[in-house]
A and B are shown apart, each in its own frame.
Chain A
Amino acid sequence: MEQNSENKNGYLLEVDNLKTYFAVKRGLFRKTVGYIKAVDGVTFRIRSGQSLGLVGESGCGKTTTGRTITRLVPATEGQVFFEGVDMLNATAKQLLQLRRDISIIFQDPFGSLNPRMTVANIVGESLKVHKNITGTELANRVKGLLEKVGLPSDSVNWYPHEFSGGQRQRIGIARALALEPKLVICDEPVSALDVSIQSQILNLLKDLQQELGLTYLFIAHDLAVVAFFCDVVAVMYLGKIVEQAEAKELYQNPMHPYTKVLMSAIPDTNVSREGRRKIGKGEVPSALNPPSGCPFHPRCPLADTKCSEQMPMSEKKDGEHFVACWKCD
């Protein structure tokens, strides 16, 4: 596979000004009446072997970003480079290779596994399709994968319904790892799981990262989970990244008002009834009809007229800390 400019600076994935718009059609002739700007100019990079977390509330475009990168949803504008290969304009042959290098773990451990397929088929399918592995070798590979994710290797002939939620998520992880990918996109991998299972899965993903040198794009709504799991965190709001920094830096020194709101809204076991803080009113506006200027200004405690008129650009503060806010100096 040709590789122009051999992934400079050690970035495995580079996303530049990515936009994904969905046309809204109405009426008899399905006339386009507007666009939902699900992803609206997203830029980030992930170093090889690191994890980047995309956090935000529902409808902010974090899942669509993941899907656009894997070309499950067509991009409207922008560029995505994976190991220097332009993904959005890749040829069919390049794309086949990219499909091996990038895999996805889905949120819903119940909906994302075919109930009529055995575990062996679910995990082994991609090996059959991409690598033409069959027979005993396939069976051995599948067993190895199941062991790696902590499932009993005699469970190969079971069906998904015979497993608990946490085990099902392990099947999903085994499937994602089958082709030895470089980048794994985890779309809310633990949000459907119980607390005691959630920590098991997060630890497993971390161990696998160490062992296999994986790079993660970790999509989640829970800032505490992301801060634990990721090296770099990007906070999304209404299709835009409003703040991006190293996990520790972001936690210690949040700059964007939205990040602060998000952080203070996480219920914490160290806070009592009396010591609770209050947060502002308002809901996430519709992406079909976003507010002018900064998308957060209707809910922002600091907003003034400039915020409602002009969209702030993402600016580099100290180090690798990016913020898109007029009020952050």
Chain B
Amino acid sequence: MSENDVLVSIKNLGVSFYSEDGIAKAVQDVSFSISKGKTFALVGESGCGKSVTALSIMKLIPFPPGEIVSGSIYFKDKNLLELSPKRMRTIRGNKIAMIFQEPMTSLNPVYSIGDQIAEAIMLHQHKTDEQAWADSVGVLKQVGISDPERRVYEYPHQLSGGMRQRVMIAMAISCRPELLIADEPTTALDVTIQMQILDLLDELQEQNDMSILLITHDLGIVAERAHKVAVMYASRIVEIAGCRALFDEALHPYTQGLLKSLPRLGVNKKRLDTIPGSVPEPLHFPEGCKFHPRCPLGNKDNRCRSVEPDLREVKPGRFAACWRVQGYQTEKERLEYGTKFGK
């Protein structure tokens, strides 16, 4: 993959939230890049920092209490973190658009859906009222809403959940963004509707050569939709891999645990495998590797308990943050480990 194919490149992103009880490091040292026209999935459990990462790209972290404390986010050749709010507004909703989890609460109930879609078109593309309205109808048709000429006049409460999510998508793609951030786009929907919405996103990606940052907790969706995956746990990325490679052979113990704990159709088991314990809270992260208290390998390992591993390339195209993954330690570290920690 050449450098030119990269649309977004995030390096060492750190986001903290300040509260009376202390500083919560919601995102730490997150680096990844999204290629043009591809789907990059960010997967993890609630509270792992995946949504905060997405909001950072949009520069929508509320300040206070939140603040982006370190790193850079390059969108093509511009570092978004250095842009003025005014410049950022020309990109947000225009070049980078976002769809949210809750189609019920993300739409304004007192405006017709046509008004809401046209607003973005008028703002970003400097079109007249009529043109924007015509575009709204067109974009509704594109997302598969039947009878769009009538639907533009309707209000969010008149639509079903799946329809509302389609409207959200219509709004997001109305300015033909280069990057679409989809934050749990189907979590509130039924499985059959979920499939339709994901199919729609795929179609739009192909038509517009759009990159998608797909944020989800559902590994099944990731397997079926993503080109590349990053797994997040407790504010860090613990593994990055090509989609198929990850599901064929997960390297990090957390990823392995997640995959094993899924109930699968057609696999008869008396019990499910589990990951013991629960996700630590940002104010009380354990020392060392944050996964070690729940890890089948790291429990007894001194190094896992005291030194936090960073993300490294362990073999071509595979990144992991775990002392116990083969190929992770350098020769120097192995020697140090022998002397410093004892076996």
Contact = CB atoms under 8 A, between A and B. Distances in A.
- B is a partner of A: yes
Interface of A: 57-58, 164-167, 194-200, 202-203, 206, 221-225, 227-229, 248, 251-252, 261-263, 265-273, 276, 278-279, 281, 283-284
Interface of B: 45-46, 144, 160-163, 190-196, 199, 217-227, 243-244, 247, 257-259, 261-266, 268-276, 278-279
A269 B223 contact: yes
A262 B279 contact: no
Contacts of A165: 46
Contact of A199 (B224, B225, B270, B272): B272
Nearest to A210: B270
A268 B261 CA distance: 13
A196 B258 contact: yes
Nearest to B190: A57
B160, B195, B244, B268, most chain A CB atoms within 10 A: B195
Contacts of B278: 164, 166-167, 196-197
Contacts of B224: 267-268, 271-273, 276
Contacts of B192: 57, 261-262, 265, 279, 283
A203 B220 contact: no
B279 A228 contact: no
A199 B274 contact: yes
Query: Chain A contact residues: over half helix, strand or loop, or mixed?
Result: helix
Given A200-B274, A251-B266, A252-B266, 6 more contacts: A196-B278, A224-B263, A228-B269, A268-B264, A273-B224, A273-B226
Contacts of A269: 219-220, 222-223, 247, 259, 262, 264
Contacts, number: 131
A143 B258 CA distance: 31
A170 to B, nearest CB: 11
B160 A283 contact: yes
Contacts of B46: 165, 194
A224 B265 contact: yes
B263 A225 contact: yes
A265 B261 contact: no
A202 B46 CA distance: 19
A272 B275 contact: no
Given A199-B272, A261-B192, A265-B192, A227 B263 contact: yes
Contact of B195 (A223, A265, A273): A265
A266 B265 contact: yes
A268 B259 CA distance: 11
A36 B222 CA distance: 37
A279 B195 contact: yes
A187 to B, nearest CB: 16
A271 B269 CA distance: 20
Nearest to B266: A251
23 contacts: A57-B190, A166-B278, A167-B278, A196-B274, A199-B273, A223-B191, A223-B265, A227-B265, A228-B264, A229-B263, A251-B265, A267-B219, A268-B220, A268-B224, A269-B223, A270-B247, A270-B264, A272-B223, A273-B227, A279-B196, A281-B144, A283-B160, A283-B163
